[in-house]
Structure 1
Amino acid sequence: MRVALAVLHDFVAVMAAWTLAYLLRFNFDLPDDFEAELLRTMIWVAPLQMLIFWRFGLYRGIWRYASTADLRHIILAIFMSAAAIPLLFWMLRLGLVIPRAVLVINPLLLILMMGGSRFIYRMWKEQGLYGDIKLRGEPVLILGAGDAAVSLAKELNKSNDWRLVGYLDDNREQHGLTLNGVRVLGPLDDMPYWTERMGVSQVIIAMPSSSHQQRKRAIQLCNAAKVNVLTVPSFDDLMSGRVAVTKLRPIELDDLLGRDPVQLDDAGLHGLLTGRVVLVTGAGGSIGSELCRQIARFAPAQLVLFELCEFALYTIEQELSRSFPDLDFVCLVGDVRDAARVDEVMGMYCPAAVFHAAAYKHVPMMEQHNAWQAIRNNVRGTWTVARASQRHGVGKFVLISTDKAVNPTNVMGASKRLAEMVCQGLQREDGTRFVMVRFGNVLGSTGSVIPRFREQIAEGGPVTVTHPEITRYFMSIPEAAQLVLQAGLMGEGGEIFVLDMGEPVKIVDLAKDLIRLSGFNEEEIKIEFTGLRLGEKLYEELLADNEHTLPTPHPKLRVARAQRVDDIWLGALLEWTDSVTMPDKEVRTALKKWVPEYHPNEGGNGA
């Protein structure tokens, strides 16, 4: 039906344009003989032009989405038909005389009629009969006046729920200009004035290519102006085509703590991962599952997922099946402490690279009643996987470590420092190259404060923070995984890579931000301080006192060469970890011997 109406419209336009061209040529005083000529020529002209329009595909589009590309198509088809008319009459020798002015006026009239009608229809559909004047919808400001803002504005104009009243942008050259009929009002700092004057309670941040500092400043200005904030997707998501600019979302903590995108050595990572078998232990965990997603992008020959938790393994299996249908991967249940199972897997799949993310990492839980299990899993499990990697010719072994391994005050941190030392002790001049990657907290990971804060806010509070001065480093899970891959590529063996974690963040400030982002204030959701937990530090360090870092070619990675251990020390450690069980107190006492910089925090309430 739609196509038939479009064809009928253009057929009428062709006849009207041909008739009007004759009338304009003779100043609307058409002689009788030319009137007859008009009718005889129209019988040939109308079918010819309609045939050319059809062949040019003018009826495949939808009028309400008419664009400048459609207009170019219409103009080309019209001029082709204008050229075909005299050619047709010359070839058929019809003996009909067409005034030259008619041949010039006719295509111009057709462009106005056919192009104009389509764009008028689109305007009517998008904005109603009042053109750019929208009297309905909630007033909204857009922060940013770049391509993303313009694209977003076009979509907002189609909606009855929003009414765009202006842009704010720090580029002075754009102030006072209009984009899509809406003015750039001024800089971002003027937001309180314009929100009050325009009655705006909703602001959209459309600055996907700006630095995270600029976006964070925009968010802080919105919070100060007490307006609701939405944002467009990130620049990487827009460029990849995964989402459109109109996919608005609420501000998340990642936006406040966000960091500039990681620049990966894609060519080098293809050499490390593409067409090779890669094994990830702890593949169902926060970091392990993200490593699997990132590795899958590089098309490995096979991805081996090794995980103790059946449900976590099932979850990542389902996701990879959906997101990477062509990926060859296998899901294996197993414990990194089970030497026979680890050896069987290594022998069967012969991985070229191993990413060892399996670990017990919840500090308070490992501190009480589970200290020996932390040692067995994090130390003995690392040795088991590392030795199997050596026996089966693995090229790269990458250990996921933590900032809590530096001057540790808890069993979990000390166990990860021992895992680093095990890998350093196994390093030889040839064979498997062991690389350790040390970083801080990741947003949203299992056991992190963010999910707990969200639950507490959903329950109406209070939000519990252990100490008003406690600080932590944070990065997003994807960034951490990407930097792990980059460090794995760069490592030559025995290095500890330290990720650039940015500036430390006070946990209490994090809680306040999350409360505001959830639509509450600190009067509605209280913050309570509960005291440091057993084994918890006020702040984390990325380097021990006797360690030094050197820069690397990558701006977000530095390399540390920490204290090395010998085979005698390693043998004694393994003999200790062979014990069946050990009380928590004895574990902490023994750790002081194995990790001299370990100083347990015996304070806290043990919660």
Structure 2
Amino acid sequence: MNGGKKLAYQQRLPLLIIIDSILILLTVLLSSYLVHDTYFTTPAIITVSALLLSHHIFSFGYKLYKKAWEYASIGELIIICKIVTFSAVSVAISQLLFTQELPIRFLVNTWILHILLVGGSRFWWRVVRDTYMSTGEERVRTLIIGAGAAGTMVARQLLNNANSLHPVAFIDDNHRKHQLDILGIPVFGGIKKIKDAVDSLSIEHIVIAIPSLSKRQLNYIFQECAKTSARTQILPMLEDLVTGKVSVNQFRDVQVEDLLGREPIELDSKTISESITDKVVLVTGAGGSIGSEICRQVSAFSPKKLVLLGHGENSIYSIEMELKERYKHTGIEFVTEIADIQDVQKMNIIMDQYRPNLIYHAAAHKHVPLMERNPEEAIKNNLIGTMNVAQAASWNNVETFVMISSDKAVNPTSVMGATKRLSEMVIQKMDQTNQTKFITVRFGNVLGSRGSVIPLFKKQIEKGGPVTVTHPDMIRYFMTIPEASRLVIQAGSLAQGGETFVLDMGDPIKIVDLARNLIKLSGHSVDEIGIEFTGMRPGEKLFEELLNENEVHEEQIHPKIYIGKTSDLFIDEIEELIVTFSLMDKKSLRESIVGLANRKKEPKEVLSISS
């Protein structure tokens, strides 16, 4: 590769020197004719000699012959002006030395013609390239959203480089820019004009070039873009541009995570570090979507040992290999345990062996319809399994136990949500009777987790549709897997014992809107793929709640942490259910679980956290 580049430079260097020499000779002859009405004069001969020598010396000094002139811009023009000016000064000095005269008019004409001919020869090549030497493929008509610094940079890159995208218009909400041209490209109008611009200008591609956009603003702009048939992409993340990881013309597709109407939760790294660094951490369900991400983020805080506990050997092996490779130079000890949380004896053995300081309990059955059909398995895994891990933690003096719950535990209508609510009660009771700090973290749906709607929708779109949605009015709270895991880790560092931490997840999202966005992001139209409403499934609600109406006080005790309330605990009833559930039929068991989870008594204080 290097040899090829060197050979190309060696081939064109003599050519450029010859061309410049001819242009310099022509410059001096024309100037001499314009001033003296003759070509051969003493000043002309001295000027040619001095100008040839000085031009080539300064050209090598400023690396003029190494420039790629098909990409010439104002920077190259400035270099040419410097070379020509310094060469003119050299010529003036030579004239004084040899003739004791300074033909100012002749030198000024020479300076002007020198710039015009040498500069023109360079920029002519770019004009020829841009006008006549295209790649032969038809360029895609592109609309750039954002006429600020980033948008202008994108436009310049697309204009300067051999790119398949051809910018034809800007969109910007700044009214002062409307009807103006930037780099020869008109500003069509504001965001509301996106569809009009696409239709009237035959736009095939849209680039969102506003790095400072909030997720809410991006969602708003994307919804306007979604009204068109144009493909929509976005500028890389600002930090990636600044650090040089990607260039400004390396656009990426908009992801569904970009469209969440809330900003990512920020971590209190100092507090988290105090609770994790050089400690032994155990994660149950470590091979799952949430559990594996907790392992990744915990590892970033350098625990002494991380115990990966799970029931599925393949998923545990996968996260173990990933972490060992990523953190192989950190000194973190990664160990794995293939175990079932329903085995209380095995849980106690593991706790006794590793003596963890902190436990994140992510193992659970979470699929709502499946748990409706198998309520006994929900009891065994979600409730009894949680009790087993919690009891083993208390028996072995674990410092903090963090249980992952769900918004489906609030006023539950499903077996899955009800078993999570009963598990919350168990954890709160354990905190009251043990030295271990037991807490619960409750959040909504997680984008991309196993069993969530996103993978299902993507598979349906790949097959050509239709995308199935249970009800047109169904809404859910959503967060990304990393955000959910950050909340769990943050909660563990804030734990005093007995709290239920809940993230304010912003505005809920209609499932049908999520489906439409995914169809659009996949490069299809809703008419092409189709959306089919199948009806609500057993245990489902039209909307989920993060807290019930009596759980939150307005009093703020810490930035974004509020005092809340929760119901009293029904531990005796839960124990009775555990003893008798195997004797019940499925229908009676479902009714018992959901009924017990929804029993109400006088409220008592807990904590909730808001983002």
- TM-score, with length taken from structure 2: 0.77
Structure 1 residue 436: deviation in Å? 1.8
Partners of 1:346 and 1:108 in 2: how far apart?
A: 85
1:533 to 2:546 alignment? no
Map of 1:166 onto structure 2: 169
Aligned mate of 1:375, from 375, 379, 383? 379
Map of 2:424 onto structure 1: 420
1:347-362 residue pairs with structure 2 within 5 A? 351-362=356-367
What amino acid maps onto 1:2 in structure 2?
Answer: A
For each residue in 1:491-543, what CA deviation from the matched residue of structure 2 results, as whole angstroms up to 9, or x when unmatched? Answer: 3332111111222333344444444555233586251333x323222322222
Partners of 1:357 and 1:193 in 2: how far apart?
A: 49
Map of 2:593 onto structure 1: 591
Map of 2:149 onto structure 1: 147
Map of 2:502 onto structure 1: 498
Aligned mate of 1:2, from 8, 16, 21? 8
What amino acid maps onto 1:471 in structure 2?
Answer: I
Partners of 2:273 and 2:75 in 1: how far apart?
A: 38
Map of 1:180 onto structure 2: 183
Q: Name the % identity.
A: 37
- Confirm or deny: 8 A CA contact 1:549 1:559 kept in the other structure: yes
- Confirm or deny: 8 A CA contact 1:498 1:559 kept in the other structure: no
1:59-98 residue pairs with structure 2 within 5 A? 64=70
What amino acid maps onto 1:533 in structure 2?
Answer: R
- Confirm or deny: 8 A CA contact 1:143 1:207 kept in the other structure: yes
Partners of 1:19 and 1:154 in 2: how far apart?
A: 35
1:363 to 2:365 alignment? no
Structure 1 residue 420: deviation in Å? 2.1
What amino acid maps onto 2:143 in structure 1?
Answer: L
- Confirm or deny: 8 A CA contact 1:277 1:353 kept in the other structure: yes
- Confirm or deny: 8 A CA contact 2:460 2:467 kept in the other structure: yes
Structure 1 residue 464: deviation in Å? 3.4
Structure 1 residue 399: deviation in Å? 2.0
- Confirm or deny: 8 A CA contact 1:278 1:303 kept in the other structure: yes
C-alpha spacing 1:372/1:96, structure 2 compared with 1 (3 Å): farther
Q: Which moved more, 1:293-302 or 1:534-543?
A: 293-302
Aligned mate of 1:200, from 199, 203, 211? 203
1:521 to 2:523 alignment? no
What amino acid maps onto 1:356 in structure 2?
Answer: H
Partners of 1:353 and 1:322 in 2: how far apart?
A: 23
Q: Which moved more, 1:206-215 or 1:381-390?
A: 381-390
CA RMSD of aligned residues (A): 4.6
Structure 1 residue 404: deviation in Å? 0.9
Structure 1 residue 416: deviation in Å? 1.5
- Confirm or deny: 8 A CA contact 2:50 2:90 kept in the other structure: no
For each residue in 1:369-427, what CA deviation from the matched residue of structure 2 results, as whole angstroms up to 9, or x when unmatched? Answer: 3x233223223333343444456565443222101111222222122123222332233
Aligned mate of 2:289, from 286, 291, 301? 286
- TM-score, with length taken from structure 1: 0.77
C-alpha spacing 1:552/1:4, structure 2 compared with 1 (3 Å): farther
- Confirm or deny: 8 A CA contact 2:412 2:594 kept in the other structure: no
Structure 2: stretches of 5+ with no match in the other structure: 1-6, 601-611
Partners of 1:577 and 1:175 in 2: how far apart?
A: 69
Partners of 1:352 and 1:61 in 2: how far apart?
A: 61
Partners of 1:325 and 1:77 in 2: how far apart?
A: 54
What amino acid maps onto 1:414 in structure 2?
Answer: A
What amino acid maps onto 1:481 in structure 2?
Answer: S
C-alpha spacing 1:535/1:326, structure 2 compared with 1 (3 Å): same
Structure 1: stretches of 5+ with no match in the other structure: 90-94, 599-607
1:406 to 2:410 alignment? yes
What amino acid maps onto 2:411 in structure 1?
Answer: N
Partners of 2:224 and 2:410 in 1: how far apart?
A: 37
For each residue in 1:202-231, what CA deviation from the matched residue of structure 2 results, as whole angstroms up to 9, or x when unmatched? Answer: 433333422233222222223334544333
For each residue in 1:355-381, what CA deviation from the matched residue of structure 2 results, as whole angstroms up to 9, or x when unmatched? Answer: 222211111212223x23322322333
Partners of 2:325 and 2:117 in 1: how far apart?
A: 48
Aligned length: 580
What amino acid maps onto 2:286 in structure 1?
Answer: A
The DSSP-based 3-state class of the residue aligned with 1:224 is coil
Map of 1:602 onto structure 2: none
C-alpha spacing 1:520/1:177, structure 2 compared with 1 (3 Å): closer
Structure 1 residue 149: deviation in Å? 2.2
Aligned mate of 1:560, from 560, 564, 572? 564
For each residue in 1:274-309, what CA deviation from the matched residue of structure 2 results, as whole angstroms up to 9, or x when unmatched? Answer: 555543322222222333343444455554433222
- Confirm or deny: 8 A CA contact 2:280 2:357 kept in the other structure: yes
- Confirm or deny: 8 A CA contact 2:406 2:417 kept in the other structure: yes
Q: Which moved more, 1:243-252 or 1:496-505?
A: 243-252
Partners of 1:359 and 1:12 in 2: how far apart?
A: 77
C-alpha spacing 1:252/1:46, structure 2 compared with 1 (3 Å): closer
- Confirm or deny: 8 A CA contact 1:140 1:203 kept in the other structure: yes
- Confirm or deny: 8 A CA contact 1:380 1:574 kept in the other structure: no
- Confirm or deny: 8 A CA contact 1:141 1:203 kept in the other structure: yes
1:485 to 2:489 alignment? yes
Q: Which moved more, 1:451-460 or 1:544-553?
A: 544-553
C-alpha spacing 1:167/1:342, structure 2 compared with 1 (3 Å): same
1:242-253 residue pairs with structure 2 within 5 A? 243-253=246-256
Aligned mate of 2:257, from 254, 257, 268? 254
Structure 1 residue 474: deviation in Å? 1.9
Partners of 1:119 and 1:297 in 2: how far apart?
A: 52
C-alpha spacing 1:444/1:97, structure 2 compared with 1 (3 Å): farther
For each residue in 1:91-134, what CA deviation from the matched residue of structure 2 results, as whole angstroms up to 9, or x when unmatched? Answer: xxxx8789887999999988877777666555654x23499xx9
- Confirm or deny: 8 A CA contact 1:258 1:475 kept in the other structure: no
Structure 1 residue 77: deviation in Å? 8.6
- Confirm or deny: 8 A CA contact 1:230 1:250 kept in the other structure: yes
1:449 to 2:445 alignment? no
Partners of 1:331 and 1:106 in 2: how far apart?
A: 79
Structure 1 residue 167: deviation in Å? 0.8
What amino acid maps onto 1:217 in structure 2?
Answer: Y
What amino acid maps onto 1:138 in structure 2?
Answer: V
Structure 1 residue 244: deviation in Å? 4.5
C-alpha spacing 1:24/1:270, structure 2 compared with 1 (3 Å): farther
Structure 1 residue 438: deviation in Å? 0.7
1:261-300 residue pairs with structure 2 within 5 A? 261-274=264-277, 276-300=279-303
The DSSP-based 3-state class of the residue aligned with 1:427 is helix
Map of 1:601 onto structure 2: none
The DSSP-based 3-state class of the residue aligned with 1:475 is strand
- Confirm or deny: 8 A CA contact 2:402 2:439 kept in the other structure: yes
What amino acid maps onto 2:145 in structure 1?
Answer: L
